[in-house]
Structure 1
């Protein structure tokens, strides 16, 4: 199950890198300003999500939530 997630994450990272290169090319031609704040925020969020998936922190958080909820006694 880790292989599809890894491929998706690598694809997302490559797509993001391609978007950055296209943006920088447009900015160097003068078509877009380099200080486009929404673009850089999107890039930062995508890189942060990729970091969480690659580092395993995301899976650790999900495991902690699962462990916590499995220990709860909701019956009474």
Structure 2
């Protein structure tokens, strides 16, 4: 569902079914994207509890130079 939806097209999210509901895990580029994914899953499975373990990765360029030994 997340891969085929053109407005989401997310392939990096893993969905696991547990006895208490669904657990979504992975990483996305923004909090807005994470919320959109959670909203769509909740719409599709309204009677199923959804737990999010989706992290947000940094998408901006680093602000500091990395010093290597």
Q: Specify the TM-score bucket, using the shorter chain as the normaliser.
A: 0.3 to 0.5
Query: RCO higher in 1 or 2 (8 Å CA, sep ≥ 6)?
Result: 1
- Which structure carries more helix by proportion? 1
TM-score by structure 1 length? Answer: 0.31
TM-score by structure 2 length? Answer: 0.32
For the pair shown, which has the larger CA radius of gyration, 1 or 2? Answer: 1
- Which structure carries more strand by proportion? 2
